[in-house]
Amino acid sequence: MFVFGVSLICLLSSQAVVEGLAAKGEGRGHSSLLQLEGLQENEEFILFNTTGKERRMKANRPLGKGAYGEVWSAESSDRLTPKLSLAVKEFQSKKEAEKEDRAFSRVEGILHVLQEKGKNLDLQEPLVATDLMKCGDFTQFVRGMQRPECRKVGRLSEQLIALAIYEVLKGLQDMHEKGIAHQDVKPDNILVTLRNGKYSFVLGDLGSSTRVEDETGELYAPKCGSGTPKYFHPGRYPVVKHREQESCNGFANDIWGLGMSGVLACTGQMPKGDLYELGAALQTVSEEWSKNGRLDLSPLFKKEKGSITGDGGQWGSCGPTLTKAIQMLLVPSEWGRSTISTFLLTPFKDLSEGHDPDFVSPDFAHHKNIHDFQCPLKGSLKKTQQCQQTAMKGEGARQWNRYRLNRWCESVYCKEHTKGSKMGECKDTCSRHRTCAGFCEDYRSEKKHTRWVPSQWAKSAQDKLDACLEPCYKAREKW
């Protein structure tokens, strides 16, 4: 069971739960008293969409309160089509509403990032609108608190965790390319909805988002203090400990926050402590990485040293493969993880599609060496990021796709190593994978073959696995 230790009170007060928002106007019965008291249940009001078209809306029910106002669900009440279901955020000040509107304008058109659907900024209590996220936020999702129509689609699984991380990574990648850092990536700000009967995840709550100083993601103080300290990158510990920090990297902070969201999805744990304790813990994590090159998150959770590390194994309910993919996001060095590259995206894409990432082949080792060890030696953060973006595009980075793997299985391996009825099983197993490691470890599973021929397999488990991997890797280089 995947759970987060987050109270329902905090959940309902989060802006991210309902960062679908809308706008109010001079609707029927709209009086000065209404402007003072705010939206009421069944209240009708006017919303202007992003092209200036007027729509009459009706408030349904309050969804929660954020730092700057209340959020309501609303639906269109006129005869126009299509019918709209939106979330409407009512601000207490025009300044905050205009700030939110500007934030939405910066991310217009970016997939997997919440989009503005309308606004009315001329009211005493102005409104901004987005789509209504039907399944709440990621915190609700992992706690099984979705609406019934969402639960019917499916409950949390490793594949859905990978899909959530992959889609948010894609959204962040596009934001970063536009020079925007989100600054507050956390489970409460990952929103969940249904599209064509399937789950879709978007990044909401853009209140802390900001333009970076340069293309590398650099930010100057006081912008380094924006966001939620429990999800701060370790490089920001001076901010939490109330020390002056001249600059920080907004892109690195976004990647770290998403990685920590993955940790919570797996373990059900969240960082603990007050601001001083968090600052000390972040400093310890940062120093451990600087001195020993080792990821140890234990101080953030007040655990014994070495209990939550990146040394292999698995975290909580997540298996070793998903755990390793999440660990790849959690590098305490801003130089090591300040750009979202294909190297980071591919494992989550594979897992979200039900395939095993390639973590054991020579190609992966080659790419990791370039991405994590050679690139950070380039002499500048800009050159490091450029190098990491191309780490999987150079010599030796040729991708072994499903078509090529299946072709090799059918024309070579399955013919030479199987007979009769086992031929079909060999081909079926191959069709489920796109990497040599995935196919060979599945088809030559020690448990499966122990069940068939115990005495023979017990003596040659590793030999049979190697006999599958070696010709597969050779074929990949030729094809």
Annotated binding site for ATP: 89
What residues contact 38, with CB distance under 8 A and at least 6 apart?
A: 70, 90, 125
CA distance 401 to 434: 5
Binding residue ranges = 89
195: number of Cβ within 10 Å:
9
CA distance 327 to 314: 10
Q: What are phi and psi of 219, to 5 degrees?
A: -130, 145
Contact 363, 397 (CB under 8 A): yes
Q: Tokens 């679908």 label which residue? A: 20
